[in-house]
Structure 1
Amino acid sequence: MSLLSSARPAWLRDWPADKFLTLLFPAFILLLALAFGDVSQLQPQENKAALTGAAVFALLIALTRLALRKGWLSDNSEWLLRNLWPVPAMLFGYLLMRLLRLELAIDALGLPLMDAQMLAFDQRLFGQTPAQLLQPLISPALTLWMESAYLHFYYALPIGSLLWLHQRGERAHFVQLRKGILYTLCTGWLLYLLVPVIGPGQWMAQTFSVSLGAQDGLVYDAVNSFRYAYDCFPSLHTAVPWVTLLICWRWYGPGLRLTALLMTLSITLSTLYLRYHYGADMLAGVALAVLVTLSLKRTATGLVSPSRSMPADCA
């Protein structure tokens, strides 16, 4: 046993790398904000939704740990909670980026916004940004579909796939998909810090001549209230569905493959249609998903089908 492993508390020694990210990433965000941010500008009144979300996450994690300690759950349900909780817990790191206004730290470090470079890339590759090219297609029905894809499919596809794998008893596959999701999220959020981009909807708002006519304004505004200011490169709304699809493709049946593919394509299109992302962001999201999938496949050569005997991967 290594010195690092022996120095860990007993409850951490069996944790895999992706679970450690649920602790390391929020700690990194907090240190960065304290070192380079401005606590006086946190603006809690403008972050009520994010604060509420953080409180809900913390409460759910506390209740989960209480249920596990008290033994209130069946073995199957306990395994699910012990292995699913890192996904919502990791989202707490993103909420910290919003709550601590990490853009102030990025500004203090002197990292320039990269929207001009993203726009130049899109113009070279597409002639215009895809958001501009899609303007002739805008309609109330398509906007409603794109909003549904962006706001709902993004969560339904990865979480639904995890629950489906668990229901089938595919524990090893469940853990592999969880790793893919967490590695994708963490890599994407680090790139948000290194490549700050605000997106075409804000950077070049005056160039759009057709209104989207958002149909679900209340939900839309609520989602925006959770967003970190520079959260565009890469598009995680592209990367997470694609990493889910690529990892699970061989396990889905024909019907699920078609459903997951349609959901993934809809989410990807929505990132451009709703003017959240440049084409460069979308392509980077696909590339990230491919890289994470290939990396996991290389490290999972010994993975076999349904693994009820697999260690519980303790939380």
Structure 2
Amino acid sequence: MPLLPVWSRFRASEWVLLGFFGYVAILVPFFPNRTRLGNQPVFLLAGVLILFCCFSLAEQGRLARNVNRIRDWIPLGLILVAFREMELFVPSHYDLSYEAAWIRWDRLLLYNWHLRALVESLGPVIPVYLELSYLFVYGIGAYCVLILWFTNGRKGIDSFYVLYLLGTLTAYALFPYFPSLPPRIAFPQIAPPDIITPVRTLNLVLLNGLTIHSGVFPSAHVSSAFSASWAMFLLLPGRKRVGWGLFLYAVSVSIATIYGRYHYTADVLSGIAVSLVPALVAVCMRVGWPFAGRAAVAAAETESRIE
């Protein structure tokens, strides 16, 4: 098998990741007031590029098949890296101007339209379900990849990542422009849940220890969940129950983020809007315009060469 240029063997999803890390590196001089921000994004971009080059080269050797399968999981780790990178954009202070505008919608939804009362009408049943929905969103990417591994022969994994990354990373990319605190911190007295479940306690512990503080707008929880559903509608057209199940799950996540005071209603609506970007790309993939599912084609060609 002839050696190919390293960059020619990058997966489409890897190009999306490089685009995001490159974008963040370009942002550095435009945010001089973010005291934690230095040259870290440049070094991180270089590290990710080197990582992809190493895997691309390794896939041309004797361990090609194993390396090819390992690459199916690399984006999940790099999503976490991208998320943590946003912590570099934490402002020196929050003036709460965004939050003051957004909280009005929450008052309307939770008080006037009685969302909180509706959620708690059956005691802890619905709150537990919603908190679990919020918790499990961290594993939705791995869940979808496993489905494609075992039901679709790994076909479409790269295309899934393209759509999932577009929805997730686009939300991350907007965080620096909207420095904000979540409603549970900025307005702890406004419509907090009256029912505290063990799952909520776990979510709060995880958030207090692991979350970032650069912003909450738009909601990446919401955008990633909807993006996953759009991707599975595209990639498993014969198993629409998977796509519909994920869609209903994404709706549950949306409600959970508002009820649990993890996000504002504005965050949720903007997260849904962000997910329309991968939805549009999915439609383009389906109809073959403008790139005719180039990501899936490239992945299939790579697998055929390895086999």
- After TM superposition, the score normalised by the length of structure 2 is 0.72
Task: Give the letter for the 2:80 counterpart.
Answer: L
Matches of residues 140-289 of structure 1 in structure 2 within 5 Å? 140-152=124-136, 154-169=137-152, 173-208=156-191, 210-216=193-199, 217-218=201-202, 220-250=204-234, 251=236, 253=239, 255-289=241-275
Q: CA-to-partner distance for each residue in 1:22-47, whole Å, 9 max, x for gaps? A: 3454465567679633359xxxxxxx
Q: State the alpha-carbon separation in 2 of the partners of residues 208 and 122 from structure 1.
A: 8
Q: State the alpha-carbon separation in 2 of the partners of residues 267 and 308 from structure 1.
A: 33
Do the aligned residues in 1 keep the contact of 2:164 with 2:228 (CA within 8 Å)?
Answer: yes
Displacement of 1:297 in angstroms is: 2.6
Displacement of 1:242 in angstroms is: 0.8
Q: Percent identity?
A: 18
Q: State the alpha-carbon separation in 1 of the partners of residues 219 and 112 from structure 2.
A: 15
Displacement of 1:191 in angstroms is: 1.3
**Residue 292 (structure 1) aligned with residue 274 (structure 2):** no
**Residue 12 (structure 1) aligned with residue 2 (structure 2):** no
2:35 counterpart residue number: 38
With over 3 angstroms needed to count, the CA separation of the structure-2 counterparts of 1:174 and 1:198, relative to structure 1, is same
1:133 counterpart residue number: 115
Displacement of 1:18 in angstroms is: 3.7
Matches of residues 44-123 of structure 1 in structure 2 within 5 Å? 75=65, 77-98=66-87, 100=88, 102-104=89-91, 113-122=97-106
Q: CA-to-partner distance for each residue in 1:54-84, whole Å, 9 max, x for gaps? A: xxxx9xx89x95xx57978672x53332233
Task: Give the letter for the 1:38 counterpart.
Answer: T
Displacement of 1:262 in angstroms is: 3.6
Task: Give the letter for the 1:297 counterpart.
Answer: V
Displacement of 1:174 in angstroms is: 1.9
Displacement of 1:221 in angstroms is: 0.7
With over 3 angstroms needed to count, the CA separation of the structure-2 counterparts of 1:193 and 1:113, relative to structure 1, is farther
Q: State the alpha-carbon separation in 1 of the partners of residues 298 and 163 from structure 2.
A: 20
Q: CA-to-partner distance for each residue in 1:188-224, whole Å, 9 max, x for gaps? A: 0111111223222122211236534131334531233
RMSD: 4.0
The 3-state SS of whatever aligns with 1:266 is helix
2:40 counterpart residue number: none
Q: State the alpha-carbon separation in 1 of the partners of residues 299 and 162 from structure 2.
A: 19
Q: Mean Cα displacement is larger for which, 264-273 or 31-40?
A: 31-40
Q: State the alpha-carbon separation in 2 of the partners of residues 83 and 209 from structure 1.
A: 40
Q: CA-to-partner distance for each residue in 1:249-268, whole Å, 9 max, x for gaps? A: 25152543453344223222
Do the aligned residues in 2 keep the contact of 1:172 with 1:303 (CA within 8 Å)?
Answer: no
Q: How many residue pairs get matched?
A: 277
Q: State the alpha-carbon separation in 2 of the partners of residues 72 and 143 from structure 1.
A: 51
Do the aligned residues in 1 keep the contact of 2:11 with 2:299 (CA within 8 Å)?
Answer: no
Displacement of 1:296 in angstroms is: 3.7
The 3-state SS of whatever aligns with 1:225 is helix
Q: Which has the higher contact order (CA 8 A, sep 6+)?
A: 1
With over 3 angstroms needed to count, the CA separation of the structure-2 counterparts of 1:155 and 1:222, relative to structure 1, is closer
The 3-state SS of whatever aligns with 2:175 is helix
Displacement of 1:111 in angstroms is: 8.5
With over 3 angstroms needed to count, the CA separation of the structure-2 counterparts of 1:136 and 1:256, relative to structure 1, is closer
Do the aligned residues in 2 keep the contact of 1:199 with 1:275 (CA within 8 Å)?
Answer: yes
Q: State the alpha-carbon separation in 1 of the partners of residues 84 and 211 from structure 2.
A: 8
2:302 counterpart residue number: 312
Q: CA-to-partner distance for each residue in 1:93-135, whole Å, 9 max, x for gaps? A: 211223x4x2137x5xx987511222245567x48588x7314
Any stretches of 5+ residues in structure 2 without a counterpart?
A: 38-47
